[in-house]
Amino acid sequence: MTGRQVVFGFGAHSGFEDGPELLRRVERADADGLDLFSLSDHPYLGARLDAYASLGFLLGRTRRIAGFANVTNLPTRPAPVLARTVTTLSALSGGRVVLGMGAGGLWDRIADMGVPKLSPGEAVEAFEEAIVLIKKLSGGGPPVTHQGRHYQVRELETTPVAAPPVWTGSNGPKSLAVTGRVADGWIPGHAADWLSERYRTSRPVIDEAAASVGRDPGEIRTVYNLPGRITERPLAATRDGEGRWIGGSAEQWVEELTGAVLEHDASGFVLFSPGGGAQDVDALARWGGEIVPAVREALAKERG
């Protein structure tokens, strides 16, 4: 995906039994004009579909929509191999892929797969080194030799296709600074939104790190994982006592998302159910067929 248009998508956590329904939902989202779908990446969970195998299959069954792992479990997917995977998906799909990246969170489960356990500091180092190496190995150019702390490659050929945009799920200060230095987008953790304390305290860390290496902070988009109910009638309050978005009618969603873009520079929304999984079919149909078109229309009017 390219450009800075506001993007809209939906997320799913899919088990093997959910495969046919996942395909139907992605095909419907593609037909409705949504921009992307996301899949969770937890390879240590045997009941879950593999994220990257699923991405390849679903991109092959669609025409316009992009896909990404939200976010890639990096410790179980070595950077040089991941570079080959995402550039291949990009080449075959016409650029319809994003590289969601995380440093790794559930280290006890990750270690169960035979991956050496890293300290939090080491995981962030490996995270930054992986993003840099993936970009080096993409887009053509001479063979790459890289002798880092966590990755070593020698005279490795690059792929002719550029790496897709990299969106991170950074949380801590060091990881947020990595996003500012080397990534293209940020997905705030714990479904934090534009009015949250997490956003207010985290985004400046990204911006300062970007500026410190000569990057324009405005080029790093913020894309929100956004759970909430879509109701038939307006709710008296669209946020709970802690200020977290809980949903509302289609009109309330449109007003909230339009304001998030115009007033808080939001550049993307990935819809989840209030429980964190995929929305039901009716809600997803209203999201793609009613709310998203209305937000796009409102933004077009505001921007002239």
What residues form DSSP beta bridges with 224?
Answer: 269
* pLDDT score recorded for residue 161: 97
What is the reported pTM?
Answer: 0.95
124-162 confidence digits (pLDDT tens): 999 999 999 999 999 999 999 999 999 999 999 999 999
CA distance 35 to 174: 30
User: What is the CA 282 to chain-centroid distance, rounded?
Assistant: 23
CA distance 5 to 265: 11
Spans of the chain below 50 pLDDT: 1-3
Please, what sign has the CA dihedral across residues 114, 118, 120, 125?
negative
Which H/E stretch holds residue 99? strand 99-102
* pLDDT score recorded for residue 281: 87
Which residue, among 138, 40, 124, has the nearest Cα to 80 in the 3D structure? 138
* pLDDT score recorded for residue 4: 64
* pLDDT score recorded for residue 2: 44
Instruction: Determine whether 107 is exposed, middle or buried from the number of CB atoms within 10 Å of its CB (0-12, 13-18, 19+).
Output: middle
* pLDDT score recorded for residue 279: 73
What residues form DSSP beta bridges with 249?
Answer: 231
Q: What six digits make up the tokens of 293?
A: 């078109």
- Could you tell me which residues come within 8 angstroms of residue 46 by beta carbon, excluding any fewer than 6 positions away? none
DSSP state of 1: -
Please, what sign has the CA dihedral across residues 230, 245, 171, 215?
positive
